[in-house]
Structures are given as C-alpha cells and as structure tokens.
Structure 1
C-alpha cells in the first residue's frame, strides 16, 4: 500500500489515480496520521459470509450480560409517576 500526504494528493492527483488504476491502495495522511484510504474499484464484490458474521457477533455479545434493568421497567415507572 502506498501512502500520500493530503498535499501530495492535491497537487498530484493524476499520479495518485495512476497508482490506483494499477491496483494499489493509497493511504491519505494529514500531518503523518492516516485519514482515508483510496482503493481501486473493480472486480466482483466479495460475497458476505453471514454465518461467520453471526458467530463473531454472538462471541462478542453472548459473553456480556446486559447491565441494569430493562427499558420497559423505566417506561412503566415513568407512566406510574404521572398518575
């Protein structure tokens, strides 16, 4: 992956686009910190493996029980407070 400063991109956009046309990804930096990534468009979109995504989500959220009381308890409490 190539890296280019914002100034380089502003002054040499044609060159940066040639890199991208050649299949390279370009990371845009501002004050040496990455702020964006330009990637070539093309090819077929990759199919999403939904089973893998659901397994990852389950691994993240199944380990942590929710904290506090359910929102429905708060709604009931506020309704009762109004009279």
Structure 2
C-alpha cells in the first residue's frame, strides 16, 4: 500500500494512477490522516447509446397533471 500526501498526489498524479492500474493500493492523506483511496474505474467501458431504453419506459397518461393535495404540501396552502 502506498501513502501520498496531497502535495505529492498533485505533483505525481500520473505516477499514482499508474500504480493503481498496476494493482497497488494508493491512499491520499492530509496531515497524516487518510482521506481518500484511489481505485481503478470499473464502470461501463462503452458510452451510453441514445434510445437504449426505448419501449421499456411507460409514462402514465396523467403524468403532467397537478395534484392540489401535493401542491398544498409543498407550498403550505390549505387543501
């Protein structure tokens, strides 16, 4: 495990990233107290595609209608 203070992390960020990608744990600290841990990104590698959810989302017919009860709760009006 590698510890780096904030100044070192700002100065050597690319080297710290290489260490993380090589499997090493990297902790960034301030005044000797650990603050954050660098980890590799594990999200989707491909960008989202427009229309991927097409046909899977259904909006209710009354979606845009207002409810006087809900408006009263939000705005403090009497029902």
Query: What's the TM-score once normalised by structure 1's chain length?
Result: 0.47
Structure (1/2) with the larger helix percentage? 1
**TM-score, normalised with respect to structure 2:** 0.49
